[in-house]
Amino acid sequence: MDAEIGIIGGSGLYSFLADATTVLPDTPFGPPSAPLTIGEVAGRRVAFVPRHGRHHEFPPHAVNYRANLWALRSVGVRQVLAPAAVGSLRPELGPGTFVVPDQVIDRTWGRPHTVHETAGHVVHVAFADPYCPRGRAAIVAASDADVRPVDGGTLVVINGPRFSTRAESRMNAAAGGTIVGMTGMPEAIVARELALCYSTVCLVTDHDAGVEAGEAVTHAEVLAQFAGNIERMKALLTRVIAALPAHEADATATCTCRHALDGQQLGFELP
């Protein structure tokens, strides 16, 4: 086991890992967004992959979500933390707020949404609760005076790379959305299909355009907000990593996420 915990996030997290090395695993879906960086955080072995590549070269619809998660699993990862920048669909959730969603609405299209494509092997996984309950609990419990994550909410995932129109923003809020982003799907379902524990913590960078007081947002503003809060995100992730349950062998794992494929006939062997 090279690592037990995986992080998929922005390139600003590279300096997060101590005594880091890199590895580029082979996957059936091509290369991940970048080589994995493996090191230590809070005494735990952690593997990091920048979701959009080392130089932010992959837009949301072109990220190889399947390769990223397969690569993490292949080096031993079974718990994944996925920090992300989002827009707020609620006036009370302003920039700088951390949200730990418990539900997702998928409005993406044209992205590969499954790893189970082998002919003759139909695989259906439960997804009523898309995020790992133990991972979510660890994030919420990692609250301190500086970061108090909002417990619960619905993440609406749009295709991007453009931002929403005002009408789309109002529609997403009316549908029950709390926050809106571009990368949460198919990342979450691919993780479930690989029997990984997956949790996301979202940093609000702006109010979406259709929200009260919301204005048209720019990519530069989103990056600036995320960069301005990166140290708060690192501190939160450090506390979460220290608090996550110890690594469990696949056969004896107690989390339901790890048993998502039980009883199903797969067309390949999991790494």
User: 146, 151, 208, 262: which one is catalytic?
Assistant: 208
The radius of gyration of the chain from alpha carbons, rounded to an integer in Å, stands at: 18
Q: Would residue 2 show up in a list of annotated catalytic residues for this protein? A: no
User: 129, 206, 250, 262: which one is catalytic?
Assistant: 206
Strands (E), 108-152: 150-151
What's 190's DSSP letter?
Answer: H
Q: Would residue 206 show up in a list of annotated catalytic residues for this protein? A: yes
Query: Which residues does 131 contact at the CB level (< 8 Å), separation at least 6?
Result: 101, 102, 104, 188, 198, 199, 200
Q: Kindly state the greatest CA–CA separation across the chain.
A: 53
Alpha carbon 72 to chain centroid, angstroms: 13
Q: At what angle do helices 230-243 and 133-141 cross, to 10 degrees?
A: 120
- The residues annotated as belonging to the active site are 206, 208
